[in-house]
């Protein structure tokens, strides 16, 4: 009996080591490898203007060669203290393939450096676009000079010829993609800020002219508990 059990055990071990017992998933191809961003990218050049969000905070730079530099808005004050438009800046960070945006990890200018670090715990959060006390009703009207992108390559804004910045969510940029092109006319109504550093608004309505502007979502004037409304399907032709 003992000899028989030993023989069975030996046979099982041999079969387990053979291809007959190789798990099916061993033959599956490896999962696709995501395309990694270009790490440690270094960009340098003259700062053409601040890229502002509707709250008036800088969350990016536009360089003279068209490169866009993105950083979180809690770094706005530190970056504005380190440099100003016209200065030359060196930026270290990463860039996704085929995207004209460098996501800043650190920058230096005028002998000063700023490193992307999380905000200090307990820091009072800045007012955001849903707070009507922080924003003013505004309009913008002009020719699109260039599109603005986030660090994933999604269109989330437009820079007009008069340097006004019109922001909108990436899904709105995709919805209007064929019409949002450099050289096209853009009229926008929304909520934002205007100051010494520039003008920026979050569009709630857009179109080629005031008479053709269509609502893309509700602004902060709605009452408590009534959030943004989903965009309407029809997209006007620019």
- pLDDT single digits (tens) 67-120: 999 999 999 999 999 999 999 999 999 998 888 999 999 999 999 999 998 877
Give the pLDDT score at 130: 43
Distance CA 187, CA 160 (A): 10
C-alpha distances in Å from residue 24, one per residue of 14, 19, 20, 30, 33: 18, 10, 10, 13, 21
User: Which of 166, 179, 195 is closest to 238 using CA atoms?
Assistant: 179
CA angle 198, 46, 80 (to 5 degrees): 45
Give the pLDDT score at 96: 87
Banded pLDDT at 8 (limits 50, 70, 90): very low
Distance CA 80, CA 75 (A): 9
Residue 41 CB neighbour total at 10 angstroms: 17
Q: Which domains does the chain have, with CATH numbers?
A: 41-115 (2.40.50.140), 136-215 (2.40.50.140)
User: Do the strands 155-160 and 136-149 form a parallel or antiparallel pair, or are they unpaired?
Assistant: antiparallel
Average confidence score pLDDT of the chain: 80
- Check residue 56 and report its DSSP letter: S
Q: Could you read off the pLDDT of 114-164 as tens digits, one per residue?
A: 999 887 766 555 544 445 457 999 999 999 999 999 989 999 999 999 999
* pTM exceeds cut of 0.85: no
Distance CA 91, CA 181 (A): 28
Q: Could you read off the pLDDT of 23-57 as tens digits, one per residue?
A: 333 344 444 434 456 657 789 999 999 999 999 99
């Amino acid at each position: 009996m003992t000899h028989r059990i030993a023989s069975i055990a030996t046979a099982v071990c041999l079969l387990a080591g053979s291809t007959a017992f190789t798990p099916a998933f061993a033959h599956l191809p490896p999962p696709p490898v995501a395309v990694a961003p270009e790490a440690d990218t270094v960009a340098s050049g003259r700062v053409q203007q601040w890229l502002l969000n509707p709250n008036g905070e800088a969350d990016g730079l536009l360089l003279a060669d068209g490169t866009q530099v993105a950083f979180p808005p809690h770094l706005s004050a530190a970056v504005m203290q380190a440099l100003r438009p016209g200065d030359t800046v060196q930026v270290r960070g990463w860039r996704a393939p085929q995207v004209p945006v460098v996501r800043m990890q650190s920058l230096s200018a005028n002998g000063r450096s700023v490193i992307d670090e999380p905000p200090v715990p307990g820091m009072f959060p800045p007012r955001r676009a849903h707070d009507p006390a922080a924003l003013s009703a505004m309009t913008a009207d002009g020719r699109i000079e260039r599109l603005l992108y986030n660090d994933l390559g999604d269109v989330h804004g437009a820079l007009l010829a008069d340097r006004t910045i019109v922001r909108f969510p990436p899904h709105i940029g995709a919805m209007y993609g064929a019409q949002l092109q450099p050289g096209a006319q853009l009229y926008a109504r929304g909520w934002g800020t205007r100051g010494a550093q520039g003008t920026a608004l979050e569009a709630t309505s857009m179109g080629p002219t005031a008479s053709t502007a269509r609502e893309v979502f509700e602004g902060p004037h709605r009452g408590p508990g009534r959030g943004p409304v989903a965009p309407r399907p029809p997209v006007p032709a620019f």
